[in-house]
Chain A
Amino acid sequence: MLDKKNNHLKIALLGNPNSGKSSLFNSLTGLKQKTGNYAGVTVDRLEGETTFFINNESHPIKVIDLPGAYSLFPKSSDEEIACKTLLDKKEEIDVVVIVLDATSLKRNLLLATQIIDLKIKTVLVLNMIDEANSQGIIIDILGLQNTLGIDVVCLNSRKQEGFDNLKKAILNARISSSVFYNISTFNTEFISYKEFISSHIYSKKTESDIENSDKLYRFNIINYLIAKFVKTPAQLSLKAITSKIDAVTTHRVYGYLILIFILFLVFQFIFFISETPMNWIESVFLGLGDIISTQLPKGALNDLVVHGIIAGISGVVMFVPQIAFLFLFIGLLEDTGYMARASFIMDRVMRPFGLNGKSVIPLISGTACAVPSIMATRSISNIKERLITIFILPLISCSARLPVYTLLIAVMYPKSTFLGFFNSQGLVLLFLYLLGFVATLLTAFVLKRIVKTSESSFFIMELPVYRWPQGKNIGILVYSKVIIFIKEAGKIILAISIILWFLSSHGINKEYQELEIKQQKLSSSYPTLAIKKEIKQIETQKLEQSFIGHLGHFIEPVIRPLGFDWKIGISLITSFAAREVFVGTMATIYQSEDSEKSEGIKQKLLNEKDETGKPKYNSAVCWSLLLFYAFAMQCMSTMAVVKRETKSWKWVFAQLLFMSVLAYVSAFGAYQILS
């Protein structure tokens, strides 16, 4: 009975989507769960641990939550991975717990009878028994149990009712002796149902006629089972409350108004409200850096820890508030059932662009930040639509672009000028935001034609009834997303930020070493105004002589046609960490007194002259830069998250290449036309 090597009993949860698997999984494992990977696919693998205490004995259990499936003939990559894992001998699954939604037994029993025919140890869970009972559905458990040949347990995952019975049933699970569909009488090629399904999944797809006759045959038996063991009220209809809420949420006016209001709320939280906790995080890490820099002896290690590692970790943790808020909303919308409605009313709008109704939320939160939004695309079940949404998200103008836009627009129009009624600065900003959206949709439109996946785009899905959200489910969702981000994307972000920090604060040539010595001498003397100024100058010179400074010179020939010099080149490289770094680097390069405020750096840029003595930052250069920042990737965190969500570097590099080309060509065009 017990797993040979480690005494664990391994159980797998399988059932239709929305049958309550996640709720059951969360109830069983609590926070003792982790998200892993299935090889080669973008589906997350959820595993957890728990211990059953029965009759004073403890039984360690491993639980794996498989993606939802309607049958063993997979129609999506989620379903495919569920079936493959179930059949995989290496998984060593001891017991399969089939989770059924007791309110729609007929549909749910199809998968159940298929799994029973696989001849694995099985337990059947009738989940949502509370709802079934309140609808007047009465189930003869014993009768069902005897006919199916396995234990049947009633459960209310919300209230944790029925768990003791479930645990006992799992420990005593058995293989049913009933056979529902005897494959060898229909197809002599196969001796067992397991073999038939394996061949369908691994070698050649069965024709839909054969597939359908399997299902229709089963449904005949299921109809008989239901007639015999289930008492259903004569007139079953959609729950009145759900009907009433839907009359508003899918209404042609109110439906969209409600959606707009929700999107507005999401935007407010991610764009503005997150700012406060983000500032806290920043000051906590700055304080921590200060403490450590005074505690550790001065030198290379001190620098690495404070400016490399702590600053890098701070840059990772900085995203946590946005991720947490976004998933709080998504959890609420999914758990109540609203998300399916949003997708219902938006499908017709998004479809021409190859997007899903559920793409709306990531697209809107993308105006604040692409990072949490890319993680949020997980709720889009169609793989093609999810990939397209991920690919286009970084093109939307996010909040990190705002400081760059503001600075450059202010340089272009130092004084507010009016075009008719409109403030010209505001118009340019509006134009840039619209440009982002248009580019996003156009790219989606083109990608829809290019991206090929084996999965066809169905919209055949359940609209679940409305339910009160469960704090536990949402809490665990938020927690696990934050952990995933920190552990998986965080590594990459930290690594790149340390590399960037190293390149910008180190150099090997003689000039750099001399500057270093000079700076050390100055910083130990009394900080008069003159000395402070000199230190600032040295910082600028150091940046110029650092590796990144040299890189800036090195790429100058490539960016010259865009109107950029090596100084901008340096800023382009440093702001690869995040777009807003551009402003800070420019401030260092131009020795702006007040590096935080863009006022000072604005004046410096306005005063900067080119070789011929004309203002360097004319509208051609500014537009070129604006367009470059509108389209270029310039965000390592986005890349790290795309890697984590698509599970491959292929998409990351395709996206980087595409955005770079788009940015380069637009900046080139703008500069050449305007100058």
Chain B
Amino acid sequence: MKTLSLAKLKKGQKAVIKSFTNKTLSSKLIEMGCLPGETFVITKIAPLGSPIAIFIAGYELSLRKDEADSVLIELIL
């Protein structure tokens, strides 16, 4: 399976977190429950393309597109 960035996903797509490309962001994301190996669904994308919301670890989290860019994921079909 090919890894891509979270920012590339469309609404409704399901994926699993693989790794992070930015250390500062990763430590924030990890404490919010975005762990490598965690699965999530894209629940919404704001009208202007950013921020994005995902359902992960039992709650909904929003993050900006450039923040989402630093998260590498693998699609689940």
Contact = CB atoms under 8 A, between A and B. Distances in A.
A345 B57 contact: no
A208 B61 contact: no
A463 B53 contact: yes
A344 B59 contact: no
A641 B13 CA distance: 47
A208 B31 CA distance: 12
A216 interface: yes
Interface of A: 70-71, 73, 75, 101, 103-107, 110, 208-209, 211-212, 215-216, 219, 232, 236-238, 242-243, 246, 250-252, 255-256, 340, 344-345, 347-349, 456, 458-465
Contacts, number: 114
Interface in B21-42: 23-33, 35, 41
B46 A348 contact: yes
Contact of A460 (B23, B47, B49, B63): B63
B18 interface: no
Given A238-B60, A252-B47, A215 B27 contact: yes
Contacts of A251: 47
Interface of B: 23-33, 35, 41, 43-44, 46-51, 53, 55, 57-64, 67
A219 B46 CA distance: 30
Given A246-B44, A460-B67, A212 B26 contact: yes
A532 B27 CA distance: 75
A131 to B, nearest CB: 11
A460 B61 contact: yes
A349 B48 contact: yes
Is chain B's binding surface mostly helix, strand, loop or mixed? mixed
Contact of B51 (A73, A101, A348): A348
Contact of A345 (B32, B47, B59): B47
Contact of B67 (A237, A242, A349, A459): A459
Name the residue among B24, B26, B29, B30 with the largest chain A CB count within 10 angstroms: B30
A462 B59 contact: yes
A104 B60 CA distance: 10
A405 B60 CA distance: 47
Contacts of B28: 75, 458, 460
B32 A237 contact: no
A245 to B, nearest CB: 12
Nearest to A207: B23
Given A71-B31, A73-B27, A215-B30, A347 B51 contact: yes
A103 B60 CA distance: 11
Given A104-B57, A107-B32, A215-B31, A463 B24 contact: no
Given A71-B31, A73-B27, 16 more contacts: A75-B27, A75-B28, A101-B59, A106-B33, A106-B58, A107-B32, A110-B31, A232-B58, A237-B55, A238-B60, A246-B43, A250-B47, A347-B46, A456-B24, A460-B61, A462-B59
A107 B33 contact: yes
A215 B33 CA distance: 10
A143 B67 CA distance: 38
Contacts of B59: 101, 103-104, 107, 462-463
A73 B31 contact: yes
Name the residue among A208, A211, A236, A465 with the largest chain B CB count within 10 angstroms: A208
B48 to A, nearest CB: 4
B61 to A, nearest CB: 6
A461 B31 contact: no
A209 to B, nearest CB: 7
Nearest to A103: B58
A338 B63 CA distance: 17
A394 B49 CA distance: 31
B32 to A, nearest CB: 6
Contacts of A232: 58
Nearest to A75: B28
A461 B61 contact: yes
B22 to A, nearest CB: 9
Given A219-B35, A347-B51, A462 B60 contact: yes
A242 B44 CA distance: 12
A208 B26 contact: yes
Nearest to A236: B58
28 contacts: A70-B31, A75-B27, A75-B31, A103-B59, A110-B31, A208-B23, A208-B24, A212-B26, A212-B30, A215-B27, A215-B30, A216-B35, A219-B30, A238-B55, A243-B43, A251-B47, A256-B47, A345-B46, A347-B50, A347-B51, A348-B49, A348-B50, A349-B48, A456-B24, A459-B64, A460-B29, A461-B62, A461-B63
A250 B46 contact: yes
A246 B63 CA distance: 16
A465 B31 CA distance: 20
Contacts of A103: 58-59
B8 to A, nearest CB: 18
Contacts of A238: 43, 55, 60
